[in-house]
Amino acid sequence: MTTLPLTGAPTTGARPRRAGEAAPVDTFSVWPATTTEQPHGRLLVGGVSLTELAESHGTPVYVLDEAEVRERCRTYRSAFPDAGIHYAAKAFLCRALAHWVEEEGLGLDVCSAGELELAAATGFPADRILLHGNAKSPQDLETALRLGVGRIVIDTPAEIARIAAAVGTGGRQKVMVRVTPGISAGGHRKIRTGSEDQKFGLSLRDGHAQHAIARILDQPQLELTGIHCHLGSQITDVKPYLVAVRRLVGLMARVRDTHGVTLPELDLGGGHGIAHRPGEPSLDLTTLARRLRAELAESCAAAGLPVPRLIVEPGRAVTGPAGVAVYRVLAVKRTPERTFVAVDGGMSDNPRPALYGARYAPRLIGRHSTADPERVTVVGRHCEAGDILAEDVSLPADIHPGDLLATPVAGAYHLSMASSYNLVGRPPVVAVLDGRARLLVRRETLEDLRARDVGL
């Protein structure tokens, strides 16, 4: 049996190499650290056979490695010992995950009343929760104020008066203001949120951020604790974060000079990139933490400011590499141009390839094949030509209906973005730990879909 090494401090998306070690492409480098390969193609995650999980829970099924999630939370706490670490619930949230994150000392950032209520159902401390969103509904704000969230991040000028009015006379709510610092960073144009001319935040360049800050400081119901920004997602370079620090510290200095207020917090969001396929780049968390601390100290010293408390919001980097999606092959179609391998899931449980051109590396499990590899396109079951899960990937040429495929790095932005397109129910989530498996989220059934349809 081949056992993959467990590392105490993985970088975001891949395990570090020893000094001087060569860098071959490890086909398991993007799998959970507990992954083990046994004879006859049997693959274990968290000590549990993926094949057996497919048999007992059906397919598609999502497997979440609890040990990997917890280890990545601890890695963030170690890299940023004095910072606030808030897990971005939009990546994926269920009650068990909220419980793990809370136990590991992280906070939470949420974007809706639904995410907030689910976290509250686990007993998650409300004062460790931040509420985000460019268009917060009245229900979002009412729920946040009722539960007593720690921070509300103001994203538009209209929210200032709305939140102040909702807080009411005699009340006080801590808020931050989201700033757009004019930095383009991220893996795809649809997930770049720090640049100008987009729906998020208040522009630093045109003065909207400064004007909003002045209005917030005039509201006795609001306590401005700091500046927030989020540059985008799948960022693998440290430099954009350093530029953001310099620009936002400059803004904090102007707030002090203009209003006599020293803001105690700086939230740089998340977007920490991970590798989805072997050999892809990822953001080195240790380097990020070291250089952020240095840049923040230097910029604050130059501006004559005390160093604010740093906040970061990792989502994908915590749960993405901890998840594995398991599908069953339904059909194989060979054409002169390519071979299509169709599975029993698709864009309803993973829309990322269709939305962002995301690339994955599925693997045959459950049997050992001696056939030569073949370049194939793994497609879903939905009525869309764009329902592609993995394009131009290598699988054994004898792949056939009934085979099982497992796709790593499936723990973020799969089920959180899932739908019931074609009225196909969403898959279950099963947690694995130390050879045991337990159901976290059950499969969405036909009865569930019928129950929502109340008209005739």
Render pLDDT for 316-371 as a digit per residue (tens, 0 to 9): 999 999 999 999 999 999 999 999 999 999 999 999 999 988 999 999 999 999 99
Identify the band that residue 196 occupies on the pLDDT scale cut at 50, 70 and 90: low
pLDDT given for residue 182 in this prediction = 77
Query: Is a pLDDT exceeding 80 seen at residue 7?
Result: no
Number of H helices and number of E strands within the chain? 12, 22
Note the pTM of the prediction, 2 decimals.
0.91
pLDDT given for residue 201 in this prediction = 77
pLDDT given for residue 198 in this prediction = 66
413 is in an annotated binding site: yes
Residue 224: HSE in the Cβ half-sphere, 13 Å Cα cutoff? 26
Angle 320-269-91 (CA atoms, 0-180°, nearest 5)? 30
Identify the band that residue 185 occupies on the pLDDT scale cut at 50, 70 and 90: low
pLDDT given for residue 134 in this prediction = 87
Per-residue pLDDT, averaged over 258-267, amounts to 97
What distance in Å separates the CA atoms of residue 196 and residue 155, rounded to the nearest whole number? Answer: 14
Q: How does DSSP classify residue 273?
A: -
Active site residue 383: yes
Which domains, ranges and CATH numbers included, belong to the chain? 2-11+29-64+321-448 (2.40.37.10), 67-319 (3.20.20.10)
Identify the band that residue 191 occupies on the pLDDT scale cut at 50, 70 and 90: very low
- Tell me how crowded residue 74 is: count the other CB atoms within 10 A of its CB: 15
pLDDT given for residue 189 in this prediction = 53
77 is in an annotated binding site: no
pLDDT given for residue 181 in this prediction = 87
271 is in an annotated binding site: yes
> Which residues sit opposite 152 in a β-bridge?
131, 175
The pLDDT tens digits for 32-71 are 999 999 988 899 999 999 999 999 999 999 999 999 999 9
Catalytic residue among 94, 229, 300, 383: 383
Task: Say whether the peptide bond before residue 60 is cis (omega within 30 degrees of 0).
Answer: yes
Element holding 225 (H helix, E strand) = strand 222-228
pLDDT given for residue 10 in this prediction = 37
Identify the band that residue 122 occupies on the pLDDT scale cut at 50, 70 and 90: very high
What distance in Å separates the CA atoms of residue 252 and residue 134, rounded to the nearest whole number? Answer: 22
pLDDT given for residue 386 in this prediction = 92
- Looking at the chain, the whole-number percentage of residues with pLDDT higher than 90 is 84
356 is in an annotated binding site: yes
Listed in sequence order, the DSSP H helices in 270-314 are 285-303
293 is in an annotated binding site: no
The pLDDT tens digits for 222-249 are 999 999 999 888 899 999 999 999 999 9
Query: Is a pLDDT exceeding 60 seen at residue 12?
Result: no
> Which residues sit opposite 328 in a β-bridge?
404
pLDDT given for residue 186 in this prediction = 56
Query: Is a pLDDT exceeding 50 seen at residue 3?
Result: no
186 is in an annotated binding site: no
CA distances from 110 to 69, 117, 118, 129, 308 (A): 18, 10, 10, 7, 23
- Tell me how crowded residue 174 is: count the other CB atoms within 10 A of its CB: 16
